[in-house]
Amino acid sequence: SQTIHQWPATLVQPVGSPLSLECTVEGTSNPNLYWYRQAAGRGLQLLFYSVGIGQISSEVPQNLSASRPQDRQFILSSKKLLLSDSGFYLCAWSTGSGELFFGEGSRLTVL
């Protein structure tokens, strides 16, 4: 069966520090991968998606970047965090024909 893991689960970082959130999927090949962000009390905002290794599409220009170094690995990064980067980050995968499967989420607080 397929599983998705993301980490860390919780992160507290100072403004201006770097960020790296990692997500891996097991049990499937060539998944579509996604990063979403949910600010407190807000809806899910699609940040990045990827259809294959090295292929990244950005939805919203911002202080973040994403990479897909391996088929089932998706990384969200920032060189210098802003206060507005605080939120609940969710990785997800799909086969492209229906349901999205979400990871457990990573809660980032930027102070």
The residues of the shown chain that bind another protein, judged by CB under 8 A, are 32, 34, 36, 42-44, 46, 49, 51, 59, 88, 90, 94, 96-105, 107
Instruction: Supply the minimum distance, in Å, between the C-beta of residue 70 and another protein.
Output: 20
Nearer to another protein, 14 or 96 (CB): 96
Instruction: Supply the minimum distance, in Å, between the C-beta of residue 109 and another protein.
Output: 13
- Cα gap 51→17, rounded to integer Å: 29
Nearer to another protein, 1 or 97 (CB): 97
- Cα gap 35→16, rounded to integer Å: 21
Radius of gyration of the chain from its Cα atoms, rounded to whole angstroms: 13
Q: Phi, psi (5° rounding) for residue 83? A: -55, -40
What single-letter DSSP state applies at residue 71?
T
Instruction: Supply the minimum distance, in Å, between the C-beta of residue 48 and another protein.
Output: 11
Closest CA to 91 of 5, 19, 31: 5
Instruction: Supply the minimum distance, in Å, between the C-beta of residue 80 and another protein.
Output: 27
Structural tokens at position 45? 């905002």
Nearer to another protein, 11 or 90 (CB): 90
